[in-house]
A and B are shown apart, each in its own frame.
Chain A
Amino acid sequence: MSTFSFAEATEWRCAACDQPLQPAKVKVTYLNAVFNVELMVCPACDFILVPENLAMGKMLEVEQLLEDK
């Protein structure tokens, strides 16, 4: 399965660890579907940044597809 990269340079930092975020492969699961995506992640605590445009765009469309709406 291919990995979809949504990692892009950002000024956001992990507030708990005060670390800059790094691109990392993340497994996104919803209902019975699994997708490999690359997102910005805190290297210390694995906090994941999901950009709003991704959450409200592609992810929302995938959710609606999987929910059969």
Chain B
Amino acid sequence: MWAHRVSEKRIVQPLYEREELAAITGGPLRPGGLELTGKLLHHSGLAPGATVLDLGCGSGFSLELLIRVYRLVAVGIDPSPLLLAQAGRRAPQATLLQATAQALPCIDGSFAGVVCECVLSLTGDVHLVIREMHRVLRSGGVLLLSDVYAHEKGRFSTSPRATSCVNSTVTLAMMTQALRAANFELLHFWECTDMLKQLAGQIIFDYGSLAAFWNVILGQATGQCTHDCTRTGVKLGYYALVAQKR
């Protein structure tokens, strides 16, 4: 187990921008990694040449997969200029845009597919972002979604100084309700909590414990609060689904 002093400036850097975390999985920091992305794409019906948006593209691992393996025309959106720079190197053929999920700089019906992996719970407004994704999909377009969910209703209350997916999660019932309300039809659903536990286990092996991991990344106060939230009452799960725009 190792620890290092984290400067105040680094504490506000989002969790998912930390390059050292990619070393844990050898790829994207999310449950299931690219294998789960491939499963979603396999069930998507997207044909080569289709235009797809990777919302919250991060450093471009999925973009590279979309382009190189599935031969899709890919657009990546992320609010982080640091991650977009990495994505540009990893997937130079992708069109990259710096923007937030709440206000996509895309005209209605632009895409045959939207990929959104372990991002929705980071946005703070699930309903708004789902409506945005619906807007930019063409009729019959598909949403490939994976994210954490809470077993119980409610949100974590942690310091706003750091952003991670555990800061804001919803239940599965709330998620499916939001999709229906936005005129999505659920085509496929997978319970993937085992993948979340696999990633958490890897983090424990690398950082010594989940508590140590949160303390290193988020600082002592926020890290302890996040750790306490995950251990007392609210349990996290992970899901993946394919939905179609009606």
Contacts and interface: CB of A to CB of B under 8 A. Distances in A.
A2 B197 contact: no
Contacts of B23: 2
Contact of A66 (B197, B210, B235): B197
A1 interface: yes
Given A33-B194, A58-B209, A66-B197, A1 B202 contact: yes
A61 B205 CA distance: 9
A16 interface: no
Contacts of A57: 208-209
Contacts of B15: none
Interface in B95-133: none
Interface residues of A, number: 16
Contacts, number: 45
B45 interface: no
A10 interface: no
B207 to A, nearest CB: 9
B177 interface: no
A36 to B, nearest CB: 9
A12 interface: no
A62 B201 CA distance: 5
A57 B204 CA distance: 10
Nearest to A67: B197
Interface string B163-202: 0000000000000000000000000000000100110111
A42 to B, nearest CB: 22
Interface in A1-59: 1-2, 4, 31-35, 37, 57-58
B26 interface: yes
A58 to B, nearest CB: 6
Contacts of A33: 194, 197-198, 201
Interface of A: 1-2, 4, 31-35, 37, 57-58, 61-62, 65-66, 68
Enumerate the 4 nearest inter-chain pairs by beta-carbon distance, A residue then B residue, closest first: A4-B205, A62-B201, A32-B194, A33-B198
